[in-house]
Structure 1
Amino acid sequence: MFVVTMHSLSSTERRHNLTNLTGERYDVLVIGGGVTGAGVALDAAARGYRVALVEKIDFASGTSSKSTKLVHGGIRYLPNFDFALVHEALVERGILLQNAPFLVSPLGFVLPIYEGDRHPVGMPFTTPKGIGLGLFLDIGLWMYDALAGRRNIRLHRHLRRKGVLKLAPTLVPEGLKDGYMYYDGQTNDVRLTLALIRTAAQFGATITNYTEVTSFISEHGRVTGVNVHDRLGDQQLTVHARHIVNATGIFAEEVEELTGTEPLVRIEPSKGVHLVLSREDLKLGDAAIVLPETEDKRILFIVPWESRAIFGTTDTGTGDLDHPTASKEDIAYLLKYLNRYLTVKLTEENIISTYTGYRPLVSPRRPGRSTAKVSRTHAVLQSPSGLVTIVGGKLTTYRRMAQDTVDVLNHRDGSPVVHPTQSLPLQGSAGWPFVQRELEKQGSALGLSHQTIAHLGKSYGAESLAILDLISGDPSLAQLLIDDLPYIRAEVVYATCYEMAVTPYDVLARRTSITLEDHQRGLGVVDEVAALMAKELQWTPEQQKSLVDAFCRAMDRQIAAEKIEV
């Protein structure tokens, strides 16, 4: 059997890490366990720094689990002439395809062109009756291909009207002229964040979730540590570090205020809402569809996601940052354009779930400017207190954001600047082509379906063999959690033993995507999940019931906010 060496992030490891946090002085402390914070922790650890990371809730519990699940350059930034941003994102897309081949895969996008289009993909200009806009789009897509350089996935191509409808048969045929097929990448944002966390741990990083920074410790006006509240054990910890990095996304301004200095950054959160729908309802094939134009000059994506489809996103103002929800207006906005461009007519009853996140945009210089027009560039800022804050950016560029952040630390220390993560495979990537064949062979022998085997490979890569080992020891773990989804019981045990999942919500909302993909949002399976976790974590019946009740309350709140029946 092919053997995979793993670093366990169990509850026992979490307790050990909490002890280490108070007993050691670190070179770098990262605040924030989203994709950017995880990327900073990995980059710093790979450069030889002694690293700790603390996250106030769970890994990827904020914006990092609320994306469109794309690794892309962003075609809508081309009309704004953000060529540097697009180039940077396309390079990072190529690096991710190289470093995490099981997690990131190429995806084709059908971009239809209709008569009467005036501002497709957010073009800031138009032409009389839209004549010639197709040519401008073609030029833009050639630029998109060229900006990717040698890392380009595949050249875009023109599609005749018949070709567009063959790839996207539910598009409204009336007024359809022609279209294009271009290529970007797709990923599971939470699994990507967890792969970064696990890889950083392999490089020696001390990592904990449910540990919230409550205040900073300063000496001579410079931050030298933080006070942390362990939210699970209800204990206070003190952590010391030479460098402290604020990678808290939409909460960056709030965290910087804890230093007692005026924040250098002003975050303008932009709400992005997505709908999760059935691929069958949409008759969606293997290609994503771009809805090219909205009245507010946005573009919307319909993206295949296993048996489901993701549709979004909005770009509007702020709200409750801790509990983002989709409003009735958000849902109506998305359904309006879905039904405008597709022949299938969907209603709220067709929505499986919604999810909402906030993009941490740096405030524009001109107040009142639409957040849809704010670029996703990032900035590394150094406070007079010594705190380093990384803000802006997007999922695709997390690695470059982390690299730029750790470069600042290298310059502070006067140490050589190296960039190890440019060619550093993430955990699960080692020997992937061979492991993929082994996974198919062993998975079939254990009676797993093709869908489950494919899901395990795309989610865990080489580490999926460890899940098969769990099944070999207990065949009941091969059972599906939900009949029409590929998740199995072994994943619950794996998440608890290797991925620091400590609540049912961690498993159902982040280690898996059951709360998004399941019509019942996981409410029908939470008791089974909690029972599996209780066996590993030695919960008392009272603890188990309390955690189940907490999950049910959270789901009920979300459903009530959406006012969608389940």
Structure 2
Amino acid sequence: MKPQPLNRSTREAALERMAATSSEEPLDVLVIGGGVVGAATAFDAATRGLEVGLVEARDFGEGTSSRSSKLVHGGLRYLQMLDFKLVAEALRERDLLLTRNAPHLVRPLPFIFPFEKPVFERAFVGSGVSLYDALTLRPGAGRHRRRRAVPFHRHLSRHGLRQRFPGLDEERFVGALEYYDAQVDDARLVLTLARSAHSLGAHTAVRTEAVDYLRDGQDRICGARLRDHETGREFDVYARETILAAGVWTGEAQETALEGTGSRAGLKVLASKGIHITVPRDRIRAEGTVGVITQTEKSVLFLIPLRDVWAIGTTDTAWHEAVDSPAPTSEDIDYVLAHANEVLEADLSREDVLGTWAGLRPLLQPTETEEDGDGSAKVSREHTVMQLAPGLTGIAGGKLTTYRVMAEDAVDFASEGSFKDRESLTELMPLAGGQGYGEWADQAEDIAQAYGWDAGRVDRLLNRYGSMLGELLELIDEEESLGRPLEHAPGYLRAEVLYAVRFEGAMHLDDLLSRRTRLFHEVADRGLDSVEEILQIAASELGWDAERIVAERRAYAGYIEAQRAAEDTEHDAEAAALLSEARPVPQQHATEPSGSAAQPTGAAETEPQA
């Protein structure tokens, strides 16, 4: 698979192809929702040789799928529930990502589990982690054969813990266990899945909302009516099968399909909020790259080392407001800080907080279909696939780690009556940038010398682009100034802004600052100081005039102001109201979707627990 660029031109071509469909010449599959599961579903269907359309009401991963703990893990908490099958499945997917599917995006990450009671905790937690490690050793054959991707766990004495993570409270903890999971930039994973699907021929379009469903006669869904939010244009797209992957938006999105049918079926999803904060790396002392995990009375506390900051979370609270406007409140932030300070040597304060994010987990509730056991749904502990209406399949639940299994289940289920002889190839196929990654990694020292970069920058670039790094280097070879770091965000090169527009489908300033880069979360100014330089690079490529530049700047600045105000509120309702009145992109030809057939999606949970 040769990676193909995503940009404004490819989006227009995708919309034209979808608009040209008819009941006689439909797409094979239309996927509604561009979160991790929707993008993975489009990729899965494309690997089967099907003609696929993928639409997302906002940007790829803008919902839950860019607001997770950014971990790829088996889920230690499920061992407490004795759900060994689920843990083994997640560990298998973790190792596939590390070794075959996305070795450039997913990296091993050791975690410290500190002990206060040396005998009991060491025995209890140690036995659980031993089982956790053992579940990765289950034998496989043929395509299921795999090798271990991370080291086994080890025990640390009080002295060993102090050396490994000096930033923890030395008096409280008497030792620890160190085990491995993995981490990923979740937004980049979603984008790479979408680009991989596009590279196999899928027609992908962001800022494109499904506002209604098409019906063949009275019952069967045969496509959807789409609205292009960039132009206001509406048109019909026909498909043999339509798959809804809308995460916490599922309830609202499926109402249109069930309207007038009298059906009581459907996926029932509740939202639970998890928040994270970021603080500077130098505020927490650790030897190398290592995280911390402990339990709290309500959730799990993670201290997660990102490249330039620490991410600390999470919470687990019911969300009753509009699902498109989650935000951390002052109470949420104080809760995370208080629990972090219980385990750390030095106290963190609100002044240390650089950024925040909140994500909503889609928590599945039992449906009448599941309870009746009529066979029209495939249910696991983590996700459910079911027929919402003839021709329309819905999938919800799950978590980031098992996105591939969810996607395969969704396409298998939808294709049962149309193209069931087509097998998924996603277990065997690397994502864009994964094939040839090892050869590029072997050249890291030469690249650093040729471009005057240190080893850390080259490693970071390989972790973002993999074997697609050559495309970025070509931009720099054509224009040397693109090889310089951004003045106010030196972790990113100027070339990465242009690359995001020309190859990664960025269409708005927020796309560049919140997901193609993560400045929204990584720097205290939330990226505002870098806006002018980024606009200088991106505006001409996107064809923006002076008026549009002003609108983009104003929309992003207004959203940052609303986010900061939300972080000072006491209640979810206040925070949601502030964000619902501010949008990170300028409104052009239509209002942003609210309770419509396809919301910004991300059908994977924010993974608050291990």
Q: What is the TM-score when the length of structure 1 is the normalising length? A: 0.92
User: What secondary structure is seen at the aligned counterpart in 1 of 2:433?
Assistant: coil
Q: Determine if contact 2:111/2:178 at 8 Å carries over to the other structure.
A: yes
Distance 2:6 2:450 in 1: 28
**Distance apart, 1:237 and its partner CA:** 1.8
Match of 2:128 among 140, 156, 172: 140
Preserved CA contact (<8 Å) 1:390 1:405: yes
* 1:248 partner amino acid: A
For residues 110-147 of structure 1, give each alpha carbon's deviation from its aligned partner in whole angstroms, at most 9, with x where no partner exists.
Answer: 111113xxxxxxxxxxxxxx963431211111110111
Residue matched to 2:500: 495
- Please give the alpha-carbon distance, in whole angstroms, between the structure 1 residues aligned to 2:448 and 2:547: 36
SS at 2:544's partner residue? coil
1:7–1:198: 8 Å Cα contact kept in structure 2?
yes
Q: Does 1:301 align with 2:302?
A: yes
Following TM superposition, by how much is the alpha carbon of 1:484 offset from its aligned partner in structure 2, in angstroms? 5.5
Aligned residue type for 1:53? L
Does 2:462 match 1:474? no
Label 1:182 to 1:449 Cα distance change in 2 as closer, same or farther (>3 A).
same
Quick check: 1:234 aligned with 2:222?
no
Q: CA deviation at 1:385?
A: 3.8
Runs of at least 5 residues in structure 1 that lack an aligned partner in the other structure = 116-129, 367-374
For each residue in 1:191-216, what CA deviation from the matched residue of structure 2 results, as whole angstroms up to 9, or x when unmatched? Answer: 11111111111110000000011111
Q: Give the match's secondary structure for 1:413.
A: coil
Alignment of 1:372-387 (within 5 A): 377-387=382-392
2:49 matched to 1:51? Answer: no
Question: Residue type of the partner of 1:173?
Answer: E
Q: Which of 110, 115, 140 pairs up with 1:113?
A: 115
Distance between the aligned counterparts of 2:490 and 2:114, measured in 1?
31
Conserved? CA contact 1:141–1:182, under 8 Å: yes
556 and 243 in structure 1: CA distance in 2 versus 1, 3 angstrom threshold: same
Q: How has the CA–CA distance of structure 1 residues 418 and 402 changed in structure 2, closer, same or farther, with 3 Å as cutoff?
A: same
- Are residue 549 (structure 1) and residue 565 (structure 2) matched? no
Matched, 1:212 2:213: no
Alpha-carbon RMSD: 1.9
**Post-superposition shift, 1:253?**
1.4
8 A contact 1:224–1:241 mirrored in 2: yes
Question: How far apart, CA to CA, are the structure 1 residues paired with 2:311 and 2:193?
Answer: 24
The structure showing larger relative contact order (alpha-carbon pairs under 8 Å, at least 6 residues apart) is 2
Query: 1: distance between equivalents of 2:480 and 2:289?
Result: 36
- Mapped to 1, the partners of 2:487 and 2:69 lie a distance apart of 23
- More divergent stretch after superposition (439-448 vs 383-392): 439-448
Tell me if structure 1 keeps the 8 A contact 2:37–2:403: yes
Q: Tell me which residue corresponds to 2:336.
A: 334
Match of 2:606 in 1: none
SS where residue 426 of structure 2 aligns? Answer: helix
2:520 equivalent to 1:515: yes
**Cα distance in 1 between the residues matched to 2:265 and 2:356:** 33
- Equivalences for 1:26-425 in 2 at 5 Å? 26-97=27-98, 98-115=100-117, 132-149=120-137, 150-151=147-148, 153-220=150-217, 221-259=219-257, 260=259, 261-296=263-298, 298-318=299-319, 319-363=321-365, 377-413=382-418, 415-416=420-421, 418-425=423-430
Distance in 2 (CA, whole Å) between partners of 1:456 and 1:230 is 33
Structure 1 CA distance for aligned equivalents of residues 549 and 265 of structure 2:
41
Between the aligned partners of 1:5 and 1:99, the Cα distance in structure 2 is 15
Output the CA distance in 2 between the equivalents of 1:223 and 1:326: 38
Deviation at 1:386, TM superposition (A): 3.1
Per-residue deviation at 1:439?
4.8
| 1:480 shift after superposition | 1.4
Please list every run of 5 or more consecutive structure 2 residues that lacks an aligned counterpart in the other structure. Answer: 138-146, 369-379, 570-610
| Residues 503, 547 of structure 1: 8 Å contact kept | yes
Match of 2:371 in 1: none
For 2:73 and 2:490, the matched residues in 1 are separated by 27
Aligned CA distance change for structure 1 residues 483 and 47 (closer, same or farther; 3 Å): same
Measured in 2, the distance between the counterparts of 1:414 and 1:517 equals 45
Deviation of the 1:482 alpha carbon: 4.4
Contact 1:33 1:59 in 2 (8 A): yes
Tell me the distance in 1 between the aligned counterparts of 2:366 and 2:341.
33
Q: What secondary structure does 1:154 align onto?
A: coil
Task: Determine what percentage of the aligned residue pairs are the same residue.
Answer: 38
Give, in angstroms, the shift of residue 311 of structure 1.
Answer: 0.8
8 Å CA contact retained: 2:241, 2:415: no
- Which amino acid is 2:317 matched to? T
Deviation at 1:364, TM superposition (A): 5.8
Secondary structure of the residue aligned to 1:487 is strand
